[in-house]
Structure 1
C-alpha cells in the first residue's frame, strides 16, 4: 500500500509524508513518517491544545473578551484577518475561528494570551519532543517578506521562480520554522481523541472545533460519505499543502492521519496536490481497515 500512496504523491507532482494510525488497535502505516516537516497553519492545533490546558488549569479564562482594533490584522484570507472594523469576542471563539477557517489574526490573539512557551511546554508534556512552534502567524509572514526581499505579499509569488528562492525562505525550512513529524502529529490527535491532551470536557471542545473545519478539498475529499466524519486542520504555505485529522466511521473505526506535501510547482493553486492528500489518506485508512477484517 505504501507504493500506491507514493504513486499518488508522484502523480500529483509532490513529495509526500504520511502517518496513519488506528486509534483503537494501534495499527499504523507510514511514508517518511519520522522525517521533520513544516507545520504551516497546522501549528494552530498545538496552540489549541495549550489554550485548553491553560484554561483547565485556571491560567486563563476562555470567555475573556478580546478586542481587535481596526487596522490591526495579520495577513490572511479568512475570518477576522479580512475585517476592517473593530472586533470583540471571547478567546474561546477566537480559538474556534483559528481552527474552523484558519484565521491568522484570531490565532495570534490566542497565542498572545497563551504564550509560546506554554505551547511548547504542552507538546513536551505530551512526549512530542520533535514538534515545536517557533512563532506566530505574523512572525511567519514577516520572515517570508524579509527573506524574499518584498514589501507586498502579492509580489512574493512572482519571486518564487527566482533561482534558489525557495531554498532561502526560512518558513519552508523545517529546521528553522514551526515543525513536527507526521507520527508525532497523529500522536497529538490521538491524545485529543482519547481525552489525554487535556481534561475530557476540554478535549470534547477541541474535537468539536476540528469537526467544524470548513475545507472539503483535502482529507475530506478522500471520504465523500455522509456517515463518515472527517475532523481536521489544514496548513498551506506557498509550495506546502498539509492536513492532519481524524476519520471516524459509523462502525466505530477511528483513524488519525497526518499528510504533508511539498510541490515542485510554485503555482498558487494546485488542485492535484490537494486531491493527493485525500487519496493518500483514503488508501492508508483502507489498508488499516483491511487489516482489522
Structure 2
C-alpha cells in the first residue's frame, strides 16, 4: 500500500508525505511520515488548540469582541480580508473563520491574543516536539516578499519560475518556517478527537469547527459518501498543497490523516495535486480498515 501511495504522488507530479492512523487502535501507515514538512495554513490547528487551552484555564475570554478595520487585515482570498467595512466579532468566531474558510485576517487576530510561545508550549505539553510555529500569516507573507525581492504576491507568482527563486524562499523550507511531521500532526488530531488536547467541551468545539471546513477538493474528495464525515484543515502556499483531517465512518471507525505535497510545476492551479490528497488518504484509510 505504501508503494501504491508513492506511485499516486508520482503520477500527480508531486512529492508527498503521508501518515494515517486508526484513532482507537493505533494501527498506522506512513510514507515519509517522520520527515519535516511546511505547515502553511495547517499551523492554524496548533493555534486553535492553544486558544482553547487558554480559554479553558480562564486566561482568555473567547467571547471578547474584536473590531478589525480593512487596513488592519492580513492578505488572503477569503473571509474578512475581502470585506470592505469594519467587522466586529468574538475571538471564538474569528477562530471559527480561520478554520472553516482559512481566513488569514481572522487567524492573525487570534494569534495576536495567543502568541507564538503559548502555541509551542501547548504543543510541548502534549508531547509534540516535532511541530513548531514561528509566526502568523503576516510574518509568512513578509518573509516571502523579503526573500524573493518582490513587491507583492502577484509579482512573486510571475517570477516564481526564475532560476533559484524557489530555493531562496524560506517559507517553503521546513527548517526556516513553521513545520511539523505528518505523524505528529495525526497525533494532534487524535488528541482532539479523544478529548486529550484540551478539556472535553473545548475539544468538542474544535471538532465542530474542523467539521465545518468548506473545501471539498482535497481530503474530502477521497470520501464522496453521505454517511462518511470528513473534518479537516487545508494548507496552501505557492507549490505546496496540504491537508490534515479526520475521517469518520458510520460503523464508528475514525482515522486521522495528514497529507503534504509539493508540486513540480510553478503554477497556481494544481488540480492533480489537490486530488491526490484525497486519493492517497482513501488508499491509507482503506488499508487501515482492511
TM-score normalised to structure 2 length: 0.99
* Alpha-carbon displacement from aligned partner over 1:61-120 (angstroms, at most 9, x marks no partner): 000000102321101000001112101000000000000000000000000001111000
Indicate if the aligned counterparts of 1:17 and 1:182 stay in contact, CA closer than 8 A: yes
* Alpha-carbon displacement from aligned partner over 1:254-289 (angstroms, at most 9, x marks no partner): 000000000100110000000000000000000000
Q: 1: distance between equivalents of 2:70 and 2:9?
A: 42
Q: Aligned with 2:259: secondary structure?
A: strand
Aligned position for 2:214: 214
Q: 2: distance between equivalents of 1:81 and 1:119?
A: 24
Aligned position for 2:137: 137
Q: 2: distance between equivalents of 1:178 and 1:202?
A: 24
Indicate if the aligned counterparts of 1:71 and 1:85 stay in contact, CA closer than 8 A: no
Q: Aligned with 2:276: secondary structure?
A: helix
Aligned position for 1:123: 123
Q: 2: distance between equivalents of 1:226 and 1:261?
A: 27
Q: 1: distance between equivalents of 2:130 and 2:194?
A: 21
Q: 1: distance between equivalents of 2:142 and 2:70?
A: 20
Q: Aligned with 1:71: secondary structure?
A: helix
TM-score normalised to structure 1 length: 0.98
Aligned position for 1:68: 68
Structure 1 segment 26-105 matched on structure 2, within 5 A: 26-105=26-105
How many residues get paired? 290
Indicate if the aligned counterparts of 2:65 and 2:90 stay in contact, CA closer than 8 A: yes
Q: Aligned with 1:257: secondary structure?
A: strand
Q: 2: distance between equivalents of 1:191 and 1:9?
A: 28
| Runs of at least 5 residues in structure 1 that lack an aligned partner in the other structure | none
Indicate if the aligned counterparts of 1:116 and 1:135 stay in contact, CA closer than 8 A: yes
Structure 1 segment 138-217 matched on structure 2, within 5 A: 138-217=138-217
Indicate if the aligned counterparts of 1:74 and 1:137 stay in contact, CA closer than 8 A: yes
Q: Aligned with 2:72: secondary structure?
A: coil
| Runs of at least 5 residues in structure 2 that lack an aligned partner in the other structure | none
Q: 2: distance between equivalents of 1:84 and 1:71?
A: 10
* Moved beyond 3 Å, runs of 4+: none
Q: 2: distance between equivalents of 1:127 and 1:164?
A: 37
Indicate if the aligned counterparts of 1:71 and 1:84 stay in contact, CA closer than 8 A: no
By how many angstroms is 1:159 displaced? 1.1
Q: Aligned with 2:206: secondary structure?
A: helix
Indicate if the aligned counterparts of 2:70 and 2:81 stay in contact, CA closer than 8 A: no
Q: 1: distance between equivalents of 2:152 and 2:177?
A: 21
Aligned position for 2:285: 285
